[in-house]
A and B are shown apart, each in its own frame.
Chain A
Amino acid sequence: MRSPPFDGRCRWLIPAAALMIAQIDDALAHGFAGDRFFPATILTDDPFVADEMSLPTLTLDPTQSDGSREFDIGSDLSMLITPNWDFTLSSNWAHIHTPGVVTQTGFQGLTTGTQYQLFINAEHEAMALAALDVTWGNTGNLAAGAPAFTTLSPTFDFGKGFGDLPDSVPWLRPFALTGNLALNFPTQVETQGVPNPNSFFYGFAIEYSIPYLQSQVKDLGIGPPFNRMIPLVEFALTTPFNRGQSGMTTGTVQPGIIWAGQTFQVGAEMIIPTNSLSGHGIGGVVQLHFYLDDLFPNSIGRPISQW
C-alpha cells in the first residue's frame, strides 16, 4: 500500500524544510526588509547586498562651468560571495564635448567594492551595510576624466521603510528613505599641481512606493504600468574638507521614477545641479537594471558560498 506523502512520523519535516528554504531565500532576496521592497536607486548606492546588474546607465550631465557637457554609458555589477557579503564592479565610458576643444572619449576608471550586510530588521523595514569602494588610478583615459590616482572610500549605507508608522497616518506608510555616508581618501595629495582633497560624500533617496500603497495600505485600483512605479527624489553631495578646497560642495538633486518589474526595473531621473560649481541647466539619466537572483536563480543568481 502506498503511504500518504506526509504521515505523522515525518510531519516535522514540513516546518524543517520550510525553515531551511526560508533561510536560503532571505539571503537571496534583493532589497527586502519584511514587507518592504527597496528598488535599486540610480544615483545613490543600495543598502543591501544582492546579485544584480545595471546595464546600461545612460547619463547626460548638466553643462559644466567651462561649457563642457558629458555623456556617460555606465554599467554596475554586484555578485554575492556569501548571503551577507558581495563584491561590486562598475565602470563608465564617457564622451566629453567642450566647445573649441577636441572631444574626449574613453573609460573613466574602474571602481571595485566589497559590501557586508550588517543587519536586516523585518519588523521595522530597516537594513544597513558597510562597504569599502576603491576607484583605481590609471585604469582609464585620463583625458576623459579617469583619475591618475587610487581613491579609497569607506561607506555606510542604510534603508528604512515607514510601514511601521501608526494606522492613523496610513498614507505615509509607503514612504522609505535610503542613504549613503562615505569618506573619500585619494592616495595622492596632488596631481600635476592640482590638489586631491579628502571629502565627505552624503546621499539620500526618498521613495514613495505605489506597490506598497496598493498591497499593504489601500488598493486605489491603480492599474499597469503605474501600479509598479516608485516615484523618488535622490540627492547626493560631496564636500571636500582639506587641501585648500574645504567647503566647496558639489552635488545634484534627481527627481524621477522607477518601474520595478519581476526580473528587472527601469528608472529615469532628471539631474539638477545644486549650485554653480556643480554645473547649470539640467541633465538626465535612464537605467535598465536586472535582478540576477530572479533571472538566474540556480547559477549566477546565487551566492558563491552559503557560508
Chain B
Amino acid sequence: MVSHRIIVAAAVLAGAVTLGAPTAQAHAFLDHASPAVGSTVPTAPETVTMWFTQQLEPAFTTATVTDASGNTVDAGPAQVDPKDPTELRVPLKKLPPGTYTVAWHALSVDTHTTTGHFTFTVKP
C-alpha cells in the first residue's frame, strides 16, 4: 500500500537524521541538586551541589547563592568537578536559618547556555 511506503520512507528519513548526526551535545538542564530544589533541610549545608544533564564548560559556568535580603552567602566561586564535568559545586558560608536562592548560568561544552534558579530553606 502507498500509505505503508510513505510511513516507511518517513521512518527511514527520521532514522537517517538521528544516525547521521555527529555525537550530539545539547543544552545542560539541571537534573537534581543537593539540597534538593525547594527542600527544607534540618542543618545548614556547607555546599550546594548541582548535577546537570550535560558536561559543563568550567570557565563560563557560574552560580551564586543569596539570602532573603539578596546578600551573597557563597564562600567562593562555583567549581565544575574535573572528574565529573556534569557536577557544579558552590561553597557556602555558615548559613543561619532562612530561605536561600541559588541562581545558575550553565554553558554546556557545545556552547549552549541555560539558566535557572531555585530556593532551599534551612530550618530554624
Contact = CB atoms under 8 A, between A and B. Distances in A.
Contacts of A34: 115
A126 to B, nearest CB: 15
Interface residues of B, number: 40
B25 interface: yes
Interface string A227-262: 000000000000000000000000000000000001
Interface string B109-122: 01111111111000
B5 to A, nearest CB: 10
A71 interface: yes
A93 B21 CA distance: 26
Nearest to B37: A219
A32 interface: yes
Interface in B90-124: 107, 110-119
A71 B3 CA distance: 9
Contacts of A264: 18
A17 B111 CA distance: 11
Contacts of B107: 18, 21-22, 25
Nearest to A291: B26
Interface stretch (A113-121, A181-189, A210-218, A276-284): A210-218
A170 interface: yes
A24 interface: yes
Nearest to A74: B10
Contact of A215 (B14, B21, B118): B118
B117 A35 contact: yes
A58 B56 CA distance: 37
Interface stretch (B27-35, B71-79, B81-89): B27-35
Contacts of B59: 14, 18
Contacts of A167: 119
A29 B27 contact: yes
Interface string B56-68: 0001100000000
A29 to B, nearest CB: 6
A190 interface: no
Contacts of B27: 29, 32, 37, 262, 294
A190 B58 CA distance: 63
A211 B37 contact: no
Contact of B13 (A55, A214, A291): A55
A197 to B, nearest CB: 32
8 contacts: A22-B107, A24-B111, A34-B115, A37-B29, A216-B117, A219-B39, A263-B26, A297-B112
Given A14-B59, A28-B112, A263-B21, 10 more contacts: A37-B29, A55-B10, A95-B2, A211-B29, A215-B31, A217-B118, A262-B27, A264-B18, A293-B112, A298-B22
